[in-house]
Amino acid sequence: MNTLIETRGLGKRYRGRQALAECTVSVPAGAITGLVGPNGAGKSTFMSLVTGMLAPSEGSILVLGQAPGRQLAKVGFVAQDTPVYASLSISDHFRLGAHLNPRWDQSYAQERIARLGVDPKQKAGKLSGGQRAQLALTMSIAKRPALLILDEPVAALDPLARRGFTDELTAAASSTGMSVVLSSHLVSDLERTCDWLIVLNSGRVRAAGPLPGLLAAHPGMSTEDMVLTYLEETS
């Protein structure tokens, strides 16, 4: 299996606070990888390092075999607060996507927004939090990246929309061969979708591997209990 993200001793300090330390993981291509851990565990920091939004304080990181931020067209990213331009309509956002991305899938974007029942002429500033998140997520998939990175993608969605989105993501990943890394502090968001898991706590990797393999090492435990075990072992 090809390696998508390879980190060695990766660390990030903000003004003396160690947000991530000694992070050595390999994320395989073609998988949906879940990044789980409590708030402040270092999930957003890890994702910002992968997308090149932040530069590491120590260690090394390769994304698709190159330094982060080098292959913008192949890496999609939706930040935690799902930023969109308040004064631009949904259609404007899609035009933006079409202008700025070589592999933009306009029909997918339009079809998905139509399916959600949102008027594309609406300004993004007038959308609800969930609709805004859906817009940002739709744009990231329509970019047709090889690697999609989603920071707490379903946090703003209601339970029904969460399920709808994770199903959508799984379908998009399997039909296009796109790899996905997504984070959540809720195991329930991840266990149905992910086939690879990284458990983070206090800026350190506590476990990483294929979900079935991790579960096999903890016979009789639910995913939730297993993750809690990893978190408690170390804190």
Query: Please, which residues have CB within 8 angstroms of residue 20's CB and are 6 or more apart in sequence?
Result: 10, 11, 12, 42, 45, 46, 49, 203, 204
Which CB, 70 or 192, lies closer to other proteins? Answer: 70
Query: Please, which residues have CB within 8 angstroms of residue 9's CB and are 6 or more apart in sequence?
Result: 22, 23, 24, 58, 59, 60
Residue 46 binds to other proteins (criterion: CB under 8 A): no
- Lay out the site mask for other proteins across 128-167 (x = CB under 8 A, - = otherwise): --------x--xx--x------------------------
Torsion of CA 116, 144, 93, 53, to 10 degrees: 120
The one among 9, 38, 102, 177 contacting other proteins by CB under 8 A: 102
Which CB, 132 or 206, lies closer to other proteins? Answer: 132
Residue 228 binds to other proteins (criterion: CB under 8 A): no
- Interface positions, 166-225, toward other proteins (CB under 8 A): none
Residue 88 binds to other proteins (criterion: CB under 8 A): yes
Residue 64 binds to other proteins (criterion: CB under 8 A): no
Which CB, 16 or 220, lies closer to other proteins? Answer: 16
Q: Cα separations (Å) of 203 from 26, 29, 153, 200?
A: 17, 24, 20, 6
Query: For the chain, how long is the longest CA-to-CA vector?
Result: 52
Provide the minimum distance between the beta carbon of 123 and other proteins in the complex, in angstroms, as a whole number.
12
Provide the minimum distance between the beta carbon of 86 and other proteins in the complex, in angstroms, as a whole number.
7
Provide the minimum distance between the beta carbon of 70 and other proteins in the complex, in angstroms, as a whole number.
9
Residue 118 binds to other proteins (criterion: CB under 8 A): no
Residue 81 binds to other proteins (criterion: CB under 8 A): yes
Provide the minimum distance between the beta carbon of 21 and other proteins in the complex, in angstroms, as a whole number.
18
Q: Is the dihedral of CA 202, 32, 114, 97 positive or negative?
A: positive
Q: Which helix (H) or strand (E) holds 129?
A: helix 129-142
Say whether 48 sits in a helix, a strand or coil. Answer: helix
Residue 67 binds to other proteins (criterion: CB under 8 A): no
**Spatial strand order in the sheet of 75-78:** 75-78, 147-150, 179-184, 32-36, 196-201, 204-210
Which CB, 153 or 231, lies closer to other proteins? Answer: 153
- Residue where the block lists tokens 């703003």: 156
List contacts with other proteins (CB under 8 A).
Answer: 48, 51, 53-55, 72-73, 75-79, 81, 83-88, 92, 95-97, 99-102, 136, 139-140, 143
